[in-house]
């Protein structure tokens, strides 16, 4: 007898509810949830592709998003911002707007906060620790702030896990970068050039890092360090490391720097650092200048110059008595490329600047833009512009060719005007 749709829904709901409410929830993340759902399909003997939307709906119901469920299900919504029971905003197609979604009252909103917090073990949220970052089983990231840090009640920000773009070709097709940029970046990653991806929050840094990872050879050993389980790579030989906040007594915390130091003992070919924002910047530079080439780091900055300055400043905060000019030299020798990505006023995320880090000249870091995005204006809400080479031939071109990239210098020729 064929399994009915309601039976599939009930089976998914029961299994997911059991797993998400288990005592040991440390391993509940997107990949684990996908595996659980797949097991239900196999047991029932049904084709999973026919129930993808249902599985997501059941998952969100079990998680407990409540009134936010419709927004979570909407593929055009990328971010949800709850400023209060009657003030729910959403970023839809790149534009922020007030929605008609509401909670019954502040008590209802606090209930949803407790539901979300329940799914993340070890997270603390109270008056002494009023802020928390959570990672949902579907891959979405949730930030919650409660009083006294927030005025008027809990504030929730949800960045949905969206991976509609999964290849450099897809990024070219939607205008994030040009075909020449895609060719260059793929060759740079293959040739073990260390890449620093820079941008503001929500600009697409994590998605770009994940896609660049596809250019890493399949037999390389990856060690990925993150605060939340977000980056996903195809290489079979990979290790995932996650930070952990201290417990209520202030002990048991695991910092990015703790993980990075241990990473160097794990024989990595590549280190992927989900975000450079503290003392681990010093270790990242040390690794990049001592044989661990080809790593990828993500940093918050508004342009390549600021990205390098911020990396230098973070590395100088370790307390290690290293002169500032030595740290700057490590930036020059350790980082090969800075890739700047931005979200435009039309909502589209674009690579706006690819800069090669070269050397120190008169005490200043020498940076050479290789590709830039040129803004030509806005028409009907859409940003007009084009990617173009600056005419600078990267010093790394020889390394790219040695790695097997068939790249001619004409790739970097500046377009003729007119």
pLDDT digits (tens, 9 = 90+) for 88-127: 999 987 789 999 999 999 999 999 998 888 877 667 888 8
pLDDT digits (tens, 9 = 90+) for 298-314: 999 999 999 999 999 99
| 341/352 Cα distance (integer angstroms) | 6
**Residue ranges of E strands in 261-398:** 270-273, 296-300, 337-343, 349-361, 364-379, 382-389
Encoded tokens for 252:
């048991």
Mean pLDDT computed over 368-380:
93
Q: Which residues of 363-377 are buried (b: 16+ CB within 10 A; e: fewer)?
A: eebebbbbbbbeeee
Which helix (H) or strand (E) element contains residue 403? none
156 burial class (0-12, 13-18, 19+ CB within 10 angstroms)?
A: buried
Count Cβ atoms below 10 Å from residue 122 Cβ, excluding itself: 12
The structure tokens 């450099």 sit at: 168
pLDDT of residue 154: 93
Mean pLDDT computed over 64-88:
92
pLDDT digits (tens, 9 = 90+) for 309-335: 999 999 999 888 889 999 999 999 999
Find the range with the poorest average confidence among 42-56, 73-87, 276-290, 378-392. 42-56
Mean pLDDT computed over 253-261:
91
| 154/84 Cα distance (integer angstroms) | 7
């Amino acid at each position: 007898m064929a399994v009915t749709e309601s039976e599939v829904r009930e089976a998914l709901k029961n299994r997911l509810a059991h797993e998400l409410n288990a005592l040991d929830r440390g391993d509940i993340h997107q990949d684990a949830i996908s595996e659980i759902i797949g097991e239900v399909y196999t047991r029932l003997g049904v084709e999973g592709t026919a129930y993808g939307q249902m599985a997501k709906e059941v998952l969100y119901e079990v998680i407990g998003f409540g009134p936010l469920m419709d927004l979570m299900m909407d593929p055009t919504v990328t971010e949800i911002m709850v400023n209060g029971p009657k003030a729910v905003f959403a970023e839809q197609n790149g534009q922020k707007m007030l929605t008609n979604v509401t909670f019954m009252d502040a008590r209802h909103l606090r209930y949803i906060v407790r539901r979300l917090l329940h799914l993340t073990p070890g997270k603390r949220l109270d008056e002494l620790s009023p802020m928390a970052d959570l990672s949902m089983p579907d891959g979405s990231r949730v930030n919650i702030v409660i009083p006294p840090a927030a005025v008027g009640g809990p504030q929730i920000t949800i960045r949905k896990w969206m991976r509609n773009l999964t290849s450099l070709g897809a990024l070219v097709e939607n205008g994030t970068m040009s075909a020449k940029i895609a060719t260059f970046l793929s060759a740079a990653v293959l040739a073990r050039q260390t890449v620093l991806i820079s941008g503001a929050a929500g600009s697409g840094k994590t998605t770009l890092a994940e896609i660049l990872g596809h250019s890493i050879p399949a037999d390389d050993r990856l060690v990925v360090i993150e605060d939340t389980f977000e980056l996903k790579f195809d290489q079979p030989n990979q290790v995932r490391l996650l930070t952990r906040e201290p417990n209520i007594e202030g002990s048991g915390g695991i910092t990015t720097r703790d993980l990075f130091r241990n990473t160097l003992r794990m024989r990595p070919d590549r280190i992927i650092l989900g975000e450079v924002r503290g003392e681990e910047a010093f270790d990242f530079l040390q690794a990049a200048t001592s044989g661990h080439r080809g790593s990828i780091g993500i940093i918050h900055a508004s342009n390549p110059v600021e990205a390098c300055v911020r990396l230098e400043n973070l590395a100088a905060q370790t307390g290690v008595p290293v002169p500032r000019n030595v740290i700057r030299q490590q930036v020059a020798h350790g980082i090969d490329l800075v890739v700047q990505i931005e979200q435009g006023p039309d909502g589209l995320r674009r690579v706006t600047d690819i800069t090669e880090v070269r050397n120190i000249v008169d005490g200043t870091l020498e940076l050479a833009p290789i590709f830039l995005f040129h803004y030509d204006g806005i028409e009907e809400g859409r940003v007009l512009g084009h990617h173009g080479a600056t005419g600078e031939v990267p010093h790394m071109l020889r390394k790219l060719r040695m790695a097997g990239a068939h790249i001619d210098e004409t790739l970097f020729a500046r377009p003729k005007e007119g």
